Amino acid sequence: MLRIEKLNFAYGDLKVLWDVDLEVRQGEIVTVVGANGAGKSTILKNVSRLVRASSGSLRFNDVDLLRMASHEVVGLGIVQVPEGRRIFPEMTVLENLRMGSFVKATRKDRERNVERAFTLFPRLKEREKQLGGTMSGGEQQMLAIARGLMGNPKLLLLDEPSLGLSPLLVKNIFEIIKEINRQGTTILLVEQNVYQSLHVSSRAYVLETGRVVLSGTGAELLANAHVKKAFLGM
Ligand code: ATP
């Protein structure tokens, strides 16, 4: 579904990605794990075209993403949920959700998608009239994911969905990620919570200072000596 080959990227003089190869097949949950600053978010931003690679290849099914702008990528069904929530604080939960179906083609599904979001996140239903900015961190994270789903994504890009959440909510958010995937959405996830994310992943990549140093199934990487030492404190 998504094939990244030899992707190189720099912010000005700062080279961040080096020859990154990464593939996401239909139906998978694929995770990129790595330390702070490894370049994980930058991979997602290249896919959603918020930034533009200097060389390499980036294909979604048969479409060359390198030539596309970010609004065109959304039209293909690639939806990014950014790190740090970024919901609309002055709008209610329901209004925030409705903003997620801004692409014309998804408007006819708006009410059905709202219901789906409320089923996945009952907390949002209870708070549908509350202003986004007054929700807790965890609730805002749920709202950001739910809003992303309003765009009928084929490929959902999730940037650190568990960041800053309590252990109980972290568990909850990974359960929901699995459920979204089970309902048919392919997911590319970027996470610092290596243990939880490898548990839900079909496959994963380890990124170190902008290079893929390891890849395998979630189970393989959980059993890998380097992963255990570097990320799982074992
Ligand atoms: P984190 O988990 O801390 O978000 P990450 O692996 O997602 O880390 P990126 O956000 O991709 O890392 O950042 C990779 C490197 O690029 C970092 O050194 C960061 O400081 C730098 N960087 C990110 N965004 C910019 C920018 N807009 N301008 C300049 N440098 C940037």
- Number of separate helices (H) and strands (E) present in the chain: 11, 10
**Atom of ligand 1 minimally distant from the CA of 83:** 4
Supply 58's token pair: 């980036």
Q: How far is the CA of 50 from the centre of ligand 1 (A)?
A: 13
Q: How far is the CA of 39 from the centre of ligand 1 (A)?
A: 6
Q: How far is the CA of 37 from the centre of ligand 1 (A)?
A: 5
Hey, where are the domains in the chain? Answer: 1-77+153-170+181-234, 89-152
Residue nearest to atom 2 of ligand 1 (CA): 36
Max Cα separation, the chain? 50
Residues with CB under 6 Å of ligand 1 are 11, 14, 16, 34, 36-42, 192
Q: Which of 42, 80, 162, 208 to mutate to test the pocket of ligand 1 (most atoms within 8 A of CB)?
A: 42
Supply 183's token pair: 């309902």
pLDDT of residue 10: 95
Homologous superfamily, domain 1-77+153-170+181-234: P-loop containing nucleotide triphosphate hydrolases (3.40.50.300)
Q: How far is the CA of 199 from the centre of ligand 1 (A)?
A: 25
ipTM of the complex: 0.92
Give CA separation, 47 vs 41, 71, 120, 143, 185, in Å.
10, 12, 26, 22, 16
Single-letter amino acid, residue 74: V
pLDDT of residue 100: 86
Q: How far is the CA of 45 from the centre of ligand 1 (A)?
A: 10
Task: Quote the DSSP letter at residue 9.
Answer: E
Residue nearest to atom 31 of ligand 1 (CA): 11
List alpha helices for 48-109, DSSP H.
70-76, 93-99, 104-107
Are residues 170 and 196 in contact, defined by beta-carbon separation less than 8 angstroms? yes
- pTM to 2 decimal places: 0.93
Q: How far is the CA of 116 from the centre of ligand 1 (A)?
A: 33
Residue nearest to atom 18 of ligand 1 (CA): 37
pLDDT of residue 102: 75
Q: Which of 7, 13, 14 to mutate to test the pocket of ligand 1 (most atoms within 8 A of CB)?
A: 14
10-residue averages of pLDDT along the chain (234 residues) = 97 95 98 94 95 92 92 92 83 93 80 93 94 91 93 94 88 94 97 93 96 97 94 81
**Atom of ligand 1 minimally distant from the CA of 43:** 11
pLDDT of residue 210: 96
Which of 87, 81, 89, 85 lies closest to 48, judged by CA?
81
